[in-house]
A and B are shown apart, each in its own frame.
Chain A
Amino acid sequence: MRVGIDVGGTFTDFVLLDDSGGRIETWKCLTTPRDPSDAIEAGLRALEAQLPGCTARLEEVIHGTTLVINAIIERKGACTGLITTRGFRDVLELGREIRYAAYDVFAEMPEPLVPRQRRLEVNERVRADGSVLQPLDESAARETVRALQALGAESVAVCLLNSFENPAHERALKRILAEEFPGASVSISAEVLPQIREYERTSTTVTNAYVKPLTETYLRRLAERLAGIGFHGRLFIMLSSGGVTSAETAAEFPVRIIESGPTAAVIAGQYFSRLFDLPEMFCFDMGGTTAKSCLIQGGVAGIVPTFEVGRVQRFMKGSGLTIQVPVVDLMEIGAGGGSLARRSRLGTLQVGPDSSGAEPGPICYGRGGTLPTVTDADLLLGYLDAGYFLGGTMKLDAAAARRGIEEHVAKPLGVSFIEATWGIHDLINETMAAAAKTHIAERGGNPRVATVAAFGGAGPVHAWGLTRKLGAPCLIVPPNAGVGSALGFFTAPRAFDLVRSHKTPLATADFAEIERIFRALEAEGERTLRRAGADGRIEFARSVDARFIGQGSETYLPVPQGDFAKLDREELRRNFDAEYERLYGRTYPESPVEFVNFSVRASLPVQLLELPKLARPAGGRASDAVKCERRAYSGIAHEFVAHTVYDRYKLFPDASFEGPAIIEERESTVIVGEDGKVEVDDYGFLWIQKREA
């Protein structure tokens, strides 16, 4: 028996899975921001009440948390110091020196996590090839460490130039820190992630140091509380890269769990795309403030080597702190149920990217919101039932929403109320479709063959409209959108990704040396997994990042297992060209190629998940699930038409029906236009396709 716990901004979600019986129990309660383990304990107690004895039978708790990302955004981490090579203490502040908003001369940059006075330098130098140009001056280094202590540092990051080629000086500093400043939490770049590019590595190491003390404290406390209520199994934490790892490893490298929360949905999508054998899937999760999406090709979500956190301008690329750790390739845009609608300065309609948030929320929530949102429009278009929101637990105020749209959108734009309302719904779909098209194009995908999978509270309301705009042939909606994403906790492999940079031209690289690098990475991966209690066979997957010499970014290339020294150089080159051509449409066989990074993913085989199947009633007809009819707006006919409303909980395998239809469940509503037809499969997924004309 396993439980997945996702601590989100508003709610903490629980999914309990009984692997033997395929049974799923869920629970949802409010997040307790001051100490998230309060809500975890309360939720587990509630599950225990639902299923007495379950806590003691639990083998695993798998946990996704926003603790780390919130600490960075709110700047609530430790007082951190940084030690660098002499001459480079400002690397952290200089960054990559690019202006993220070309025309905005007042664009604000993120404040470095360590101010200049706590960035100290040591005398040492390693060359690009790893040889020592200047040995570390240990006695001066001891003074530097003492100086940091005197400055009040609680946590120390160490990032020296070229340490990915030779970590000796960083290791020496780690030893000195342990001797001179035993209370300090220490993060050295060679251990956090030994990758080339000093700014990215420094920023990553500093961020790790910044959140390490609080992550350690939180995870220790959580483990104690779990033990206190009778849990004897193991605690795992979701990594941003889509694997899970032990609480100990997470506490050592908290920078790897920054995107812990949203990753679960992607892993669930990955699982669905394999279950249904979908070659290309576009996962789309629309909540209150943002829409997150991800392209899954061949059952695998992309992993990117860097991302940003704590953006000064929320949706502006380049305005955040760079973190260089593997993370699932997630796109986030400011489009959610709470996105605000108004007249733009250019006299057109504008929806988002800013949001009414949880407080005050949309006007129809009746909690003080006065500006119209996407949810208000969805309600007035007849897509949401004012009496059945969150299963009827929350009444919606349609009249107030209508007044809001009249006043803030229809009148200022000089359009009718209904034009304004449909416009809000349609424009947010257009915004998401535009972002999705670019995201898919950049990854060499094709929306016209992709299956869209919708999650999240607002996702299913907008998904068919989005599918139409993308020209995608099919939309699937898993049962119970909230659980749908939390299922990812159970399908994620126990895995750890390791990387080391070593820049060397393919034509002259020492393959025996490369084999040694891979073996060292594999040994470390094995140690990490074994420490987390893994028995059983560990699988390794090797890859390299290579590029044309002079190129600014690298191309990921899987390489075969087995002795690298025995690989054929020319075949490797051909593989690189083939991969480059697959991704980018053409290659340059005459341009020399170099290796930059060597990576290993160490993982245990995934524990297979058996999704529960729905019962099939004898002689059941889809019409049995019909609740009523409701007039809702058709974006095709441009008028209100009768939609058949189905109760999702009464649908069964092989039930099928045509749009216009509305399928309601507690936490979300699926809208299907008159151009769609719906089929239900054995697991209760809705498969929605374009109706033949």
Chain B
Amino acid sequence: MNQREVQAPKPKFDPITLEILWRRLISIVDEADAAVARTAFSSILRDGHDYTCMFTDRQGRELAQGTLATPGQSGAMALGIKNLVRKLPPESFRPGDVYITNDPWALAGHLNDVCVLSPIFHRDRLAAFTACILHHSDIGGRVSSDNHDVFEEGLFIPLVKLYEAGQLNEGVLAMIRANVRTPDQVNGDIRSQIAANHVCAERIVRMLEEYRLEALDDLAEEIISRSERSLRESIARAPAGVYRAEGHIEQTEGAPAVVIRCAVTINGSDIQVDLTGSSPQVDWGGNVVYNFTYAYVHMAVKSIFDPDIPNNDGAAAPIHLIAPEGTVVNCRFPAAVAARMQIGHFMTEIIYRALAEALPQRVVAASGGTPATMQVFYGRRGDGEPFHTVLIRGGGMGAGAARDGEGSFIFPANGANTPVEILESDSPLIVERRELLPGSGGAGKQRGALGRREVFRVPSDAHAPLGPVHLAMQSGRFSLPPEGLFGGAPGARARFLVNDQPGNPYGLTRLSPGDVVTMDSAGGGGYGDPRERDPAALARDLAEGKIEWQGGVRVGGQSQGSE
């Protein structure tokens, strides 16, 4: 920071002006967000909101983020951009520069998340940074979770200038275009990210002028310190101590479960999450970079202590993460990382379990939607036309102290399902069922939400596809069910059946006409002793057929017949 600034008298922001400016900042990113929604190709391919707009002060401290950002990207980005900005000398930025990178270690943990970063100048001085990260549907490479290193997974773009002082670096763009399957769409998406940054920059400069501000630093100080204080106040109310939990995450058949050791220390208003002792990195795409681990640690802390505070650097300050390098939660380059959610999504649940004793009202039991399930069906229709359908889904939410688990969701990530009618018109598949699985919610004083079943048939009549249909998956919970809390039973395990026989959910499945695939997602864990369940709630469960009686015994909480 230069001399002049340190000596300048600090303009005071009264709490009202501060709120107005703060709101303005959030509305500026939301406007940038709307610009991406309107122009990007990839973000509309799925119903998730798979992009994040944000900006930081000139030290790279996050100030505001689009309100709809997904937790994974949002947490990882805040950390990633700060590190990137601090790596470069401040004098290297020029007006009109635009940087691009998809470095998984610097950003959000896989190559598809491409980031465009622009410095903002006001009165010829660096004032802020704005960034837009977007999940590109295509980044080249071999699209699979069983790659052995990141080189197989697609194009790796280090931090380079796409524009230098307003001048497009044609070579960088040509390099990207040559390495992807759909160059025009990738190019279009990059352009919409640049447009979003442009919207952000223009609005920020206008605000600085309107309020006669030199830079954002003082405002940043206020926003960050108040958010930090709010989160700290909430953490400080929790009983101090060290809370431990161990998570076991299944991986490819035959391989032992990945172990996550977690010690959460609440010390005054600070919270430390130490993952020392967790399994070493693995030989497939499940490896998680530090930033992505951090994102779901952050999700856990924020959702427990202060779900409503706006995302900014202050919400990160009290959180300290220790994740030893070379472990599956902080993998070393060049590990394969494409299937990072299969392990990364578990961070939130493991921290919940660690803190359950200390904060029983604020956590939920494990959810069937951890990790998210992604299924890709591809092949050729009867007329030879190729089809490629991506489905995402979660499972039953875990129960909490005050309420049953509610809904079948992806958690702690998020995303919408694909309607059956859209799926059937996009592919030759027939969906025979998409329904709740009675009995799959973990029993408890509060019951876990039900998992759900989806049954697909490959037609064998005149609508049969040409040749086999391939099914690739990222998923979990087939052998280790979502655990309950405080005596609550676990939810039912996920099941993957091909023609009623257990299939291999971690491999590529070849399906022939007539084959039937059943995918049962896991139910949520229960909370509290099932014998304490309110009889009225039990009666309602029975009336609605959400639990079943078999020979006088309640069925629920255990998967039926998978062992």
Q: Please choose the segment from A89-97, A253-261, A609-617 that sits at the chain B interface, where 4 or more of its residues have CB less than 8 A away.
A: A89-97
Number of A residues contacting the other chain (C-beta, 8 Å)?
A: 78
**A96 lies within 8 A of B303 (CB):** no
Residues of B within 8 A of A199 (CB): 419
| A2 to B83 CA separation, bound complex (whole angstroms) | 68
Of B213-221, B238-246, B431-439, the one with at least 4 CB within 8 A of chain A? B431-439
Chain A residues numbered 168-185 whose CB sits less than 8 Å from any CB in chain B: none
Query: Interface size (B, Cβ < 8 Å)?
Result: 82
Q: For residue B31, which residue of chain A has the nearest CB? A: A441
Contact of B434 among A90, A438, A585 (CB under 8 A): A90
Q: Is B195 in contact with A197, judged by CB distance below 8 angstroms?
A: no
Residues of chain B contacted by A91 (CB below 8 angstroms): 420, 434
By beta carbon, the residue of chain B nearest A133 is: B430
Which residue of A is nearest B413, CB measured?
A: A102
Asked if A128 lies at the interface with its beta carbon under 8 angstroms from chain B, I say yes
Q: Is the Cβ of B302 less than 8 Å from the Cβ of A103?
A: yes
Give bound CA distance, A548 to B42, whole Å.
11
Contact A87 B15 (CB under 8 A): no
A103 touching B227, Cβ below 8 Å:
no
Given A87-B455, A96-B417, A348-B19, are A438 and B184 also a contact pair (CB < 8 Å)? no
Contact check, A590 vs B452: say whether CB atoms are below 8 A apart: no
* Cross-interface CB contact of A103 among B31, B299, B364, cutoff 8 Å: B299
**Contact present for A426 and B31 (CB under 8 Å):** no
Which residues of chain A come closer than 8 Å to B71, judged between CB atoms? 102-103
Whether A442 and B545, one on each chain, are in contact in the complex, defined by CB atoms closer than 8 angstroms, is no
Determine whether B307 belongs to the interface, using a CB cutoff of 8 Å to chain A: yes
Determine if B532 is an interface residue (Cβ-Cβ < 8 Å): no
Contacts A442-B34, A552-B45 given; indicate if A97 touches B303 (C-beta within 8 A): no
A550 interface residue (CB < 8 Å to B): yes
B380 → chain A closest CB, angstroms: 15
User: Of B26, B364, B414, which one neighbours A434 at CB under 8 angstroms?
Assistant: B26
Which of A283-291, A303-311, A412-420 lines the interface with chain B? A412-420
Any B CB within 8 A of the CB of A430? yes
* Chain B CB within 8 A of A298 CB: no
Q: Are B425 and A128 in contact (CB under 8 A)?
A: yes
Task: Return the CB mask of A408-443 against B: 1 if under 8 Å, else 0.
Answer: 000001110001101100110011011101100110
Q: Give A426 to B210 CA distance when docked, in angstroms.
A: 15
Q: CA–CA, A654 to B62, complex, Å?
A: 52
A97 in contact with B409 (CB, 8 Å): yes
- Distance of A413 Cα from B433 Cα, bound (Å): 57
> Given the known A-B contacts A89-B435, A116-B545, A117-B543, are A97 and B410 also in contact in the complex, defined by CB atoms under 8 Å?
yes
A198 to B421, CA, bound (A): 6
The stretch among A104-112, A139-147, A622-630 that forms the contact with chain B is A104-112
> Does A162 sit at the interface, judged by CB under 8 A?
yes
Shortest beta-carbon distance from B362 to chain A in Å? 9
Name the distance in Å between A414's Cβ and chain B's nearest Cβ.
7
B20 close to A (CB within 8 Å): yes
A104 with B303, Cβ < 8 A, contacts A97-B407, A117-B544, A427-B20 known: yes
**Chain A residues closer than 8 Å to B48, beta-carbon distance:** 98
Return the CB mask of A339-359 against B: 1 if under 8 Å, else 0. 000011111111000000000
Q: Shortest beta-carbon distance, A352 to chain B, in Å? A: 12
Q: Which residues of the partner chain A approach B411 to less than 8 Å between Cβ atoms?
A: 99, 105
Does B109 touch A at the CB level, under 8 Å? no
Q: Check B86 for interface membership: any CB of A closer than 8 A.
A: no
Contacts known (A348-B15, A437-B27); A108 close to B406, Cβ less than 8 A = yes
Q: Is B125 an interface residue (CB 8 A)?
A: no
Q: Is the CB of B38 within 8 A of A88?
A: no
Q: Give the distance in Å from the alpha carbon of A524 to the alpha carbon of B543 in the complex.
A: 41
Within 8 Å by CB of B433, from A87, A196, A420, lies A87
Inter-chain CA distance A438–B397, complex, in Å, is 32
Q: Is B424 an interface residue (CB 8 A)?
A: yes
In the bound complex, CA of A109 to CA of B409 (Å)? 11
Q: Which of B201-246 contact A (CB under 8 A)?
A: 226-227, 229-230
A584 contacts the other chain (Cβ, under 8 Å)?
yes
Please classify the interface of chain A as helix (H, G, I), strand (E, B), loop, or mixed, using the class held by over half of its residues.
loop
Task: Tell me, yes or no, whether B16 is within 8 Å of chain A by CB.
Answer: yes
Q: Does B103 count as interface, using CB distance less than 8 angstroms? A: no
Interface string of A174-210 (1 = CB under 8 A from B): 0000000000000000000000111110000000000
Q: Please, which residues of chain B bring their CB within 8 A of the CB of A393?
A: none
Q: A109-B406, A438-B31 are in contact. Are A548 and B434 (CB under 8 A)?
A: no
Question: A292 CA to B545 CA in the complex, in Å?
Answer: 42
Docked pose: A88 CA to B415 CA in angstroms: 21
The answer to the question of A234 belonging to the interface, with a C-beta cut-off of 8 Å to chain B, is no
B22 at the interface (CB under 8 A from A): yes
A116 and B544 contact, CB distance less than 8 A: yes
Shortest B142–chain A CB gap in Å is 21
Bound-state CA distance A117–B425 (Å) is 30
Is B175 interfacial (CB 8 A cutoff)?
no
- B416 touches which of A98, A415, A427 (Cβ 8 Å): A98
Known: A99-B409, A423-B16. A585 touches B38 (CB 8 A): yes
Q: Does B416 contact A97, Cβ atoms closer than 8 Å? A: yes
B14, B20, B47, B402: the one within 8 Å of A98 (CB): B47
Complex-state Cα separation, A133 to B27, whole angstroms: 50
- Minimal Cβ-Cβ distance residue in B for A197: B419
* Interface mask (B17-56 → A, CB under 8 Å = 1, otherwise 0): 0111011101100110011011101001111100000000
What chain B residues lie within 8 Å of A127 (beta carbons)? 424, 430, 463
Nearest-neighbor residue (CB-CB) of A88 within chain B: B434
Interface centre among B26, B363, B419 (most CB of A within 10 A): B419
Closest to A201 in B: B421
Interface residues of A in 516-567 (CB under 8 A from B): 548-553
- Max chain A CB contacts within 10 Å: which of B19, B195, B403, B455? B19
Report the bound CA distance from A452 to B431 in whole Å: 49
Are B16 and A98 interface neighbours, CB within 8 A? no
A74 to chain B, nearest CB (A): 21
Q: Is the CB of B47 within 8 A of A552?
A: yes
Within residues 70 to 95 of chain A, which ones have a CB less than 8 A from any CB in chain B?
A: 86-91, 93-95
> Is B400 close to A, CB under 8 A?
yes
B402 with A106: CB separation less than 8 A: yes
A415→B44 contact, CB < 8 A: no
**CB neighbours of B14 from chain A (8 A):** 413, 415, 419
Task: Kindly provide the distance from the CB of B355 to the nearest chain A CB, expressed in whole angstroms.
Answer: 13
* Distance from A324 Cβ to chain B, minimum over Cβ atoms (Å): 11
Asked if A444 is at the interface of the complex by the 8 Å CB criterion, the answer is yes
CB-nearest residue of chain A relative to B455? Answer: A87
Per-residue interface assignment for chain B, residues 313 to 339, with 1 indicating a CB less than 8 Å from any chain A CB and 0 otherwise: 000000000000000000000000000
Q: How far is the CA of A128 from the CA of B425 in the complex (A)?
A: 5
Given A87-B433, A128-B424, A346-B226, verify A97-B45 contact (CB < 8 Å).
Answer: no
Interfacial chain A residues near B61, Cβ < 8 Å = none
Using Cβ atoms and an 8 Å threshold, which residues of chain B touch A98?
47-48, 409, 414-417
A97 touches B394 (CB 8 A): yes
A198 touches B31 (CB 8 A): no
User: Any chain B CB within 8 A of the CB of A115?
Assistant: yes
Q: Mark A231-255, 1 if CB is under 8 A from B, else 0.
A: 0000000000000000000000000
A591 at interface, CB cutoff 8 A = yes
CB distance from A118 to the nearest CB of B (A): 10
A583 interface residue per 8 A CB criterion? yes
Q: Is the CB of A115 within 8 A of B421?
A: no
Verify A117–B545 contact, CB threshold 8 A: yes
B47 partner residues in chain A, CB cutoff 8 A: 96, 98, 552
What would be 21 A-B contacts, judged by CB atoms less than 8 Å apart? A87-B433, A96-B417, A97-B393, A97-B408, A98-B47, A99-B414, A103-B302, A108-B403, A109-B406, A117-B544, A161-B420, A198-B421, A346-B229, A413-B16, A423-B16, A430-B20, A430-B23, A434-B23, A442-B34, A444-B38, A583-B38
Given A108-B406, A430-B20, 16 further pairs, Cβ under 8 A = A87-B455, A88-B435, A94-B436, A95-B407, A106-B402, A108-B403, A196-B419, A199-B419, A200-B419, A345-B308, A419-B16, A420-B16, A427-B19, A431-B23, A437-B31, A549-B426
* Top 5 closest pairs, chain A to chain B, by CB: A423-B16, A434-B27, A87-B433, A348-B19, A116-B544
